[in-house]
Structure 1
Amino acid sequence: LINRGPIPAHFTLTPPNAHVAYCFKFSPMKGVLESGETKTIQISYKATVLGAFDEEFQFSVAGSAKPPILRIKGCVEGPNLHLDIDKIDFGDIAFGMPYTRTFRITNTSTTSVTYKLRIPEDGSGFVVTCAEQIRNNTDPSWRKGIHFYVEPKEFKMTPCKGTILPQGHQDIEVTLCSNTVMEYFRYILVDVEGIGEGLLAVNVMGRVIVPRLTAYPDILEYDECHLKEPYERKFLIVNTSHVPGCYGLIAQKRKEDTPVFYSSPAPCGIVPPFSVVEIPVIIETQKLGEYSTQVL
């Protein structure tokens, strides 16, 4: 502001009523200019909406009928984010097995962009993996199955939020560990801070398969055994499916009158696709006689 008059000028900014005008900040907004004095006004602008703007700002000056007017115009452009793929297809996956795919977000804007990823249909509860389950063959889930009070959070995105520098990119890992036998058709939504939600989307698909595992032979003959002496036999777990399978030899519930104790040094494990694993079973007879015991 320049005072070209012969006397001091008292000035005050008169803000307009337009919504976009509140995005501007002037410092100082009022003051006094001596005759011939020049004062620099700093203007800050923080955009809240996209598109062009054209605003006029008036400074009322005491004793002046014609206020000085400052016109500010410009255009607010949104961030330019791009995805290298539009869908992620996990294909056929096994129950409780984590699978990971990747995609990339690229920022071609001239400013940094802060993003956040989310899958609206995903749950928030704890997810069970086969790697965790096979650590304990006494877990109740082996007998009763997996039950949830809260839908499990089956998807994990790393990193799920962050800031991408201008002309930069971020690689995202998407891990799916399904605890539900179903076909997936979900969307990963990309929210951009200060701009909007769901500006970009990646379709996620997959089908959960529970492989059918078979035991061979289905009867183990131990023949004659001495009382309370350990005897070992082995049987096979066969997986004819194209996805891995998780197995567990359920821990025996022993009672005082249980005639035969059985156990295994390798009760749980994972059978790869189209593979066979060998399971040792050790028995100890507790009573004389001939017995048949079912191993689950």
Structure 2
Amino acid sequence: LINQAAIDAPFTYIPTTANVGYCFNFAPEEGVLAPGGIQTIQISFNASIAGRFEEEFQFNVAGSPTPAILTIKTVAAVFRECLGFHVSKLCNDCVGFPYSKTCRLTNPSQAPLRFKLRVSDDGTQPAVSSFDQIRNDSDPSWTDGIHLYMEPREFTMNPRQGIIPPQGHQDIEVTLCSNTVREFYRRMLVDLEGFGSGVASLTIAARCLVPELRVYPHVLLYDECRLKVPYERKFLVVNDTDLPGCYGLVPQKRMKDTPVFYSSPQPCGIVQPHSIAEIPVVIEAQTLGKHHTSVL
């Protein structure tokens, strides 16, 4: 502070709580400047939030109609290298089922951080999981495949956003549910409120595979059947792979001239790795003669 007048200038700092003013301290906060005198003011700054901001501080001078104003432009002392993951890559082996892995987002700074997570190039329409699909055996996706009107959102994070306390951490569960056979190489980005977008990132390398399931026997013989009397036989779905698989009987569109009706109390389901699922099939012959139909 400089007193350019010819008389003494008593001054007093006017405290403020606006915006981030409470993060600043001034010493001394009051005093008297002699004519032509200079007073050095020490400013202490302790950031409680991250971001760029501009703050105005006022000093009241006795006898002056307007205060002396000091404007401070600053960036909160939270830098990119202060926020990060404890791993550099997250690898998923996804087989069309929701598959999750956990990573940890750390905040070694002295201020709480409000974050949001997103995955680069991910879509917006929710992906369809196998667990959702097997709840409806008549879903058209069993015969026509899954139709998406927009790119699917195949990655989810829990939590997707939140606040990490000073020198704290947040465990993040990353789940991939892919609807296509493909390989992924994406980045999970961290947006920091008040500071910027993509201040930290984690590479996600993933692949989606579909296991090869075998059926035994290939033909179910029902021999002689009476008209409109139910008969049951069973076949096996064998999964010799290390991955879970999903099966579903083709939904039957019954017409007036359909010769054989078929159904199953287990029309769709999941076959775990290195296991066998036993599937019952019930038929009812509607007309005389020899008939055959495909159920898978």
Output the CA distance in 2 between the equivalents of 1:101 and 1:162: 19
Structure 1 199/282 Cα, relative in aligned 2: closer, same or farther at 3 Å?
Answer: same
User: Where do residues 176-215 of structure 1 align in structure 2 (5 Å cutoff)?
Assistant: 176-215=176-215
Q: Give the letter for the 1:236 counterpart.
A: L
Unaligned runs of 5+ in 2: 14-18, 25-30, 32-42
Q: Give the letter for the 1:155 counterpart.
A: F
- How far apart are 1:254 and its partner, in Å? 1.0
Task: Identify the residue that residue 84 of structure 1 maps to in structure 2.
Answer: 86
CA RMSD of aligned residues (A): 4.0
- How far apart are 1:222 and its partner, in Å? 0.6
User: Where do residues 98-137 of structure 1 align in structure 2 (5 Å cutoff)?
Assistant: 98-137=98-137
Task: Identify the residue that residue 288 of structure 1 maps to in structure 2.
Answer: 288
Deviates more, 1:72-81 or 1:279-288: 72-81
Contact persistence 1:121–1:186 (CA under 8 A):
yes
Task: Identify the residue that residue 94 of structure 1 maps to in structure 2.
Answer: 95
Contact persistence 2:83–2:108 (CA under 8 A):
yes
Contact persistence 1:23–1:48 (CA under 8 A):
no
Output the CA distance in 2 between the equivalents of 1:128 and 1:278: 25
User: Where do residues 14-33 of structure 1 align in structure 2 (5 Å cutoff)?
Assistant: none
Unaligned runs of 5+ in 1: 14-21, 27-32, 34-42
Structure 1 156/113 Cα, relative in aligned 2: closer, same or farther at 3 Å?
Answer: same
Q: Give the letter for the 1:270 counterpart.
A: I
Output the CA distance in 1 between the equivalents of 2:266 and 2:201: 44
Output the CA distance in 1 between the equivalents of 2:227 and 2:61: 107
Contact persistence 2:9–2:61 (CA under 8 A):
no
Aligned length, in residue pairs: 265
Output the CA distance in 2 between the equivalents of 1:134 and 1:161: 31
Task: Identify the residue that residue 17 of structure 1 maps to in structure 2.
Answer: none
Deviates more, 1:273-282 or 1:76-85: 76-85
User: Where do residues 1-296 of structure 1 align in structure 2 (5 Å cutoff)?
Assistant: 48-49=51-52, 76-78=76-78, 80-91=82-93, 93-95=94-96, 97-296=97-296
Contact persistence 1:24–1:44 (CA under 8 A):
no
Structure 1 224/60 Cα, relative in aligned 2: closer, same or farther at 3 Å?
Answer: same
Output the CA distance in 1 between the equivalents of 2:172 and 2:270: 28
Identity %: 51
Task: Identify the residue that residue 18 of structure 1 maps to in structure 2.
Answer: none
Q: Give the letter for the 2:120 counterpart.
A: P
SS at match of 1:131: helix
- How far apart are 1:147 and its partner, in Å? 1.3
Structure 1 235/48 Cα, relative in aligned 2: closer, same or farther at 3 Å?
Answer: closer
Structure 1 207/72 Cα, relative in aligned 2: closer, same or farther at 3 Å?
Answer: closer
- How far apart are 1:8 and its partner, in Å? 9.8
Structure 1 234/56 Cα, relative in aligned 2: closer, same or farther at 3 Å?
Answer: closer
Contact persistence 2:51–2:75 (CA under 8 A):
no
Output the CA distance in 2 between the equivalents of 1:126 and 1:69: 53
The normalised TM-score by structure 1 is 0.77
Q: Give the letter for the 1:278 counterpart.
A: E
Task: Identify the residue that residue 29 of structure 1 maps to in structure 2.
Answer: none
The normalised TM-score by structure 2 is 0.77
Output the CA distance in 2 between the equivalents of 1:196 and 1:73: 17
SS at match of 2:131: helix
Deviates more, 1:217-226 or 1:235-244: 235-244
SS at match of 1:295: coil
Q: State the Cα deviation string for residues 172-216 of structure 1 (Å, max 9, x = none).
A: 110111112210000001111112221111100111111222211
Q: Give the letter for the 2:262 counterpart.
A: Y
Q: Give the letter for the 1:283 counterpart.
A: I
